[in-house]
């Protein structure tokens, strides 16, 4: 059995991480390749809101200091823990999400730091779109977890930066405005490297 792949589809909110991931996995399944999706928002959706409420916060909060201190890392750790089991079974896993702390610390480049099987092939791609397009997509999806971003858009958008690992070329950049077929072809090539 060949080594399984963990693909991290990265980018800021509204770049199409979930959309691209869904289409990529459907394409892989059509080609009889075993992939699963582990989106940290889905993994944690039934417990992170109640935990935030128990801590006296809005259950849709995803941006406050309290969320970032008490809940955020639990969401990512839970996602990785489930991913570890899938990878040990030989399934390939796509992890869509920002993974900002893990990217900044370079943990995203170490199976050991991520707690994944040592034989896992780590692959990454950064999705990029103009900020106006991202805002339009965030408005269109109408997710209550995005409300803080919209309420404080200038502050939120002004703080967005390309991570160092993207700037220095360790993570390839994908123009998310390309036609879907082209995006899928690029992601497929990244996973086969």
Instruction: Give yes or no for residue 98 having a pLDDT over 80.
Output: yes
Higher local confidence (pLDDT), 132 or 21: 21
Distance of CA 19 to the CA centre of its chain: 11
Q: What is the pLDDT of residues 71-80, one digit of tens each?
A: 999 999 999 9
Range with lowest mean pLDDT among 84-88, 117-121, 131-135: 131-135
Task: Report the pLDDT averaged over residues 25-47.
Answer: 94
- The CATH number of the domain holding residue 174 is 3.40.50.300
Mean pLDDT within 130-159: 86
Chain-wide mean pLDDT for the chain? 93
Does the pLDDT of residue 1 top 80, yes or no? Answer: no
* pLDDT for res 144: 85
Query: Which region, left, alpha or beta, applies to residue 97 given φ > 0 means left and ψ of -120 to 50 means alpha?
Result: left
Q: Per-residue confidence at 149, pLDDT binned at 50, 70, 90?
A: confident
Task: Compare 156 and 96 and report the one with higher pLDDT.
Answer: 96
Q: Which of 74-83, 101-110, 136-145 has the lowest mean pLDDT?
A: 136-145
pLDDT of 193 reads 82
Average pLDDT over residues 116-129: 97
- Look at the alpha carbons of 91, 97, 98, 101 in this order and tell me if their dihedral is positive or negative: negative
Q: Measure Cα distances from 85 to 9, 111, 128, 170, 179 in Å.
A: 19, 13, 30, 26, 34
Q: How many domains does the chain have?
A: 1
Tell me which residue range forms the domain holding 22.
5-192
Structure tokens at 52: 């935030």
**% of residues, the chain, pLDDT over 90:** 73
Residue-level pLDDT at 129: 92
pLDDT of 27 higher than 80: yes
pLDDT at 138 over 70: yes
């Amino acid at each position: 059995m060949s080594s399984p792949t963990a693909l991290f589809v990265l980018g800021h909110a509204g770049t199409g991480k979930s959309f691209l991931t869904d289409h990529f996995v459907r394409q892989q399944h059509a080609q009889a390749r075993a992939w699963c999706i582990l989106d940290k928002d889905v993994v944690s959706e039934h417990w992170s809101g109640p935990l935030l409420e128990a801590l006296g916060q809005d259950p849709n909060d995803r941006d406050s200091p309290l969320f970032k201190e008490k809940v955020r890392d639990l969401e990512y750790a839970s996602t990785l823990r489930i991913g570890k089991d899938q990878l040990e079974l030989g399934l390939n896993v796509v992890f869509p999400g920002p993974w900002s702390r893990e990217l900044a610390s370079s943990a995203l480049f170490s199976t050991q730091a991520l707690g994944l099987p040592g034989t896992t092939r780590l692959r990454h791609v950064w999705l990029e779109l103009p900020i106006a397009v991202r805002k339009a997509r965030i408005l269109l999806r109408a997710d209550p977890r995005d409300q803080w971003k919209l309420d404080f858009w200038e502050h939120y958008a002004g703080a967005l930066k390309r991570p160092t690992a993207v700037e220095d070329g360790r993570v390839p950049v994908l123009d998310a405005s390309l036609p879907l077929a082209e995006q899928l072809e690029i992601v497929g090539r990244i996973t086969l490297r």
